[in-house]
Amino acid sequence: MNSSQKIKDYAIRIITYVTSFISVFVLGAILIFVLVQGAPLLNLDIIMGDNYNTYKPGMKLEYVPIESSFTYDTKQGEYFSTRYGVAVKDDKTLEGNPIIRFTYVDPNSPMRRGHTIGDSTEKIVSIEVGDVVMSGILFWGDNYLDINGDINPNAASIPYQVTEGAESFVEKLDRTLYVASIAPVILGGGIRGSIVTTLYLILLTLLIALPVGVATALYIHELAPQNKFTDLLRSLIDMLTGVPSIIYGLMGAAFFIPLAQRMFSGQIISGSLISGAMTLSVIVLPVIIRSTESALDVVPKDYKLASLALGANETQTIFKVMLPNALPGILSASLLAIGRIMGESAALIFAIGTVIMDDISIFGQGTSLAVHIWSTMSSENPNFALASTISIVLLAVVLTLNLLIKFITHKFVKRYR
């Protein structure tokens, strides 16, 4: 090898090493960013919780005597009202908005004996540990009502905004004789609905796409004559892989939504998980077909010839010999399809919508994890932390399904080989 050839070889190696390092560095940086941003929010509540806040009835409290006194050993960051027997701390919503969170409520606290506002029955309602206050607080430093039950014109209100913080909340609460209005909230922000929607979409899409894709691959590879028509068919299938997903979304909105409405008349009124699964089925069909064909190519031809020589007909050979031996490859195709389903967002925006739901039905709307990330980042104040947390969950689901399919593939390989 001459010196010029050695220089070229070294240059090619260096370029290969550099580009490989850049790829690994970029992917690693993205993964680290997602973990750093999302890990602090990752907990069971966000995974299993509902997305929307649950607003309890607005409540008012009766007159609290000045001599009322409660005790509590506060923890770091907590502030305790000795008059009302509640401890609170500063917190934030997943969008970063300030809130006041109740961390302790004494069993005898007046806030366990509130009355609903705007309800003639005035039901007894209470504030519980974990409830938050986002707005709607009205304190009075004097008797709000006079002895006749009429509004006291001389009563002085104590203005308070949640943005003032927990310490100010407790300080003003201890000066309050009458709480005219407070609106406790059970804070949402969970992604349970999006996780369930994603799993539904995976199941429905594979139920539609796998049989069609495998049957198409069997026809092209085993039954159809190998001529220019089958070559053209393969080229068209390959071309579908490169079609932008937004176009599939338009097809879903224009064709699959009306089709689903006709199929399930009266149960579907707009985009639904069914129309979304139909759209995703068209997207993953090329992947399943080509992967199944590749799996059939790997099966030794001797298996097929031996089966035919022993008297089996072509149909028996396909379904008793070729298909079982190609099953590991078909499962790999399923894995690729699942990855595409979970990562798809543009098509689903049109085919299902962007409504984040907690109660999921295949006949209703929903939001996959990928669309949930898009929804989180498309607002005026993008929430990188929540988007990163959802990304971690998405990666965890993909990894779990990957391992499950690998395990099933291993079992089939041991059975047929």
**Cα 140 to Cα 157: distance, rounded to the nearest angstrom:** 4
283 pLDDT band, cuts 50/70/90, is: very high
CATH number at residue 302: 1.10.3720.10
Q: Among 167, 186, 205, give the residue marking a domain's end.
A: 186
Residues 59 and 169 in one domain: yes
- Reference 268, options 256, 250, 254; nearest CA is 256
pLDDT above 60: residue 322:
yes
Shared domain for 291 and 381, answered yes or no, is: yes
CB 202 within 8 A of CB 369: no
Q: Does 377 reside within a domain?
A: yes
49 lies in some domain: no
Q: Are residues 139 and 200 in the same domain?
A: no
Check whether residue 171 and residue 303 sit in a common domain: no
Q: Distance between CA atoms of 379 and 214, rounded to whole angstroms?
A: 41
Q: What is the percent of the chain where pLDDT is above 90? A: 15
Q: Taking a C-beta distance cutoff of 8 angstroms, is the pair 139, 173 a contact? A: yes
Edge-first strand listing for the sheet containing 138-140: 157-158, 138-140, 178-181
- pLDDT: which is higher, 142 or 91: 91
Pair (136, 208) in one structural domain: no
Tokens in use for 48? 């299993």
Instruction: Verify that 182 and 203 share a domain, yes or no.
Output: no
**pLDDT value of position 276:** 92
In a domain, 47, yes or no: no
Same domain flag for 180 and 198: no
Domain-located, residue 34 = yes
Mean pLDDT of the chain: 83
In the sheet that holds 59-60, the strands lie side by side as: 59-60, 114-116, 124-125
Question: At which residue do the structure tokens 């109660």 appear?
Answer: 359
Q: Same structural domain for residues 218 and 88?
A: no
Maximum mean pLDDT: which of 7-11, 68-72, 372-376, 413-417 = 372-376
Q: Which tens digit of pLDDT belongs to each residue from 331-344?
A: 888 888 888 888 88
> Do 337 and 230 share a structural domain?
yes
Instruction: Evaluate whether residue 228 is within a structural domain.
Output: yes
Residue 223 covered by a domain:
yes
Confidence of residue 204 (pLDDT cuts 50, 70, 90): very high
Same domain, 180 and 199: no
* Count of the separate structural domains present in the chain: 3
CA angle, 53 then 378 then 394, to 5°: 75
Same-domain check for residues 408 and 278: yes
Q: What is the mean pLDDT of residues 64-81?
A: 83
Domain endpoint, select from 186, 204, 237: 186
User: Which of 165, 186, 207 finishes a domain?
Assistant: 186
Q: Say which residue the tokens 């579908």 belong to.
A: 240
* Residue numbers of the domain that contains 33: 3-41
- Which range among 6-10, 27-31, 396-400 shows the weakest confidence by mean pLDDT? 6-10
Q: Is 170 exposed, middle or buried (0-12, 13-18, 19+ CB in 10 A)?
A: buried
Residues 388 and 292 in one domain: yes
Residue 282 lies in a domain: yes
